[in-house]
Amino acid sequence: MTRKSSTEPASSEADNFRNESKSETVRTTSQELEKILYQIIPVLDHGFIRVMDYMGTDSSIVQAARVSYGVGTKKAQEDRSLINYLMRHHHSTPFEMCEIKLHVKLPIFVARQWIRHRTASVNEYSSRYSILNNEFYMPEAEQLRTQSKTNKQGKSDEQLSKSCVEEILCILEKSNSEAHEKYSHLLQDLSLARELARTILPVSIYTEMYWKIDLHNLMHFLKLRADPHAQYEIRRYAFEILNILKKWTPFTYEAFMNYRHESVSLPKKSINVIRRMLKGEKINPEKNGLSKGEWQELATTFDIGG
C-alpha cells in the first residue's frame, strides 16, 4: 500500500483516484455513496476515513433474502419492511452480500483496538518498508480526564485543572517530538534498520490501513465502537462510518439504529422483573433476583427509581 509523502496533501491523492476511476457500470450502486467515493473525511487531528470501494446496496440484501423462493426486488416500502424483519430477527447472511473497503489513517493505539475485530481483511502500512511521518495524535484538552474508579479501562468525568492540562499537553508534545528526532537519528545517522528503529516510537504515531468488511460484521463493529462505553478516539471514527452507512444502505442504517444500535438486550431474569412491575408489583432493589450490577443496568435503562 502506498503512502502519501509529507508534502503531498491527502486531498490531492484522493482527487487523482476520482479522476482516474470514471467508468460505466451495470451493477447496483448507491448514488449518495458515489458522491463521496475516494474523498477524505477528516477524523481527529491528522486522521481520516475514505471509501475506496463497495459492493451491493439495500437492494442486494433483499434480493439475497428472497432468492430462496425466487422472487425479485419489490417496491421500496416492501424492501424496507423486509430489511427491518431481517434485522429484528438477526438474520445475518443477507447483509453479508454487501461489502465495503475503507482507507483509514489513525493512531496506532486506535488501530490496535480496531484490529481486534477479526472479521475483516486488513492491509496496514509497513514501517519495515517505509519511514513513518512525524504525525502524532494530540488529545483535545477537554478529553484529558482522571482514571475512572469504577471502569478499569476508561476515564472518569472528573476534569483536570488547567495547570495539569497544560503540563500534560506539553509533556506529550515534547515526548512525541523527541521520539521522532531519535527515530530519524537511528535511521539516518546510525543506519539502523527501519524494523528496529521504529521501536522507539510511541503508540500515538499515525498509521494507515485498508480495511474491507461485509455489512453484517461492519454493524457489529459499529454496535461496539459507536457505543458510549468505547474510547472517545475510536468512537469518532465509528460515528463517521455510521454516516457512510447511512449514505450506502439507508434502509439498513435505519433498521440498525432502531433494532441494534439504540436498543437494549435483556436477560430472562430482567424481563421477569419488568413483567412483575407491569403487573403492579413493587420491586425491592435489594431482593429482586438480580445481581447489583444487573439491577443498576436495568434501573438506568428504564429510569427506575428506588
Q: How confident is the model over 245-249, as a mean pLDDT?
A: 97
Structural domain including 72 reads 10-137+205-261
Sign of CA dihedral 284, 289, 292, 296: negative
In one-letter notation, the amino acid at residue 240 is: E
User: CA–CA separation, 264 vs 252, rounded Å?
Assistant: 18
For the question of residue 225 being annotated catalytic, the response is yes
Q: Which residue has the cell 454493524?
A: 219
Lowest mean pLDDT among 191-195, 212-216, 226-230: 226-230
Is 272 among the domain residues?
A: yes
Quick: pLDDT tens for 10-32: 555 666 766 676 677 888 899 99
Going by DSSP bridges, is the β-strand pair 121-124/206-214 parallel, antiparallel, or unpaired? antiparallel
Asked if pLDDT for residue 74 goes beyond 80, the answer is no
Q: Are residues 162 and 66 in the same domain?
A: no
Relative orientation angle of helices 76-88 and 58-66, to the nearest 10 degrees: 70
Spatial CB neighbours of 44, under 8 Å, sequence gap ≥ 6: 106, 107, 137, 233, 236
Which of these is catalytic: 225, 235, 260, 275?
A: 225
Rounded to two decimals, the pTM is: 0.86
Please indicate, yes or no, whether residues 26 and 95 belong to a single structural domain of this protein: yes
Q: What is the largest CA-CA distance in the chain?
A: 78
Give the count of domains, the chain.
3
Sign of the dihedral defined by the CA atoms of residues 250, 253, 255, 257, in that order? negative
**One domain for residues 176 and 54:** no
Residue 125 lies in a domain: yes
Same domain flag for 64 and 17: yes
Residue 4, domain member (yes or no): no
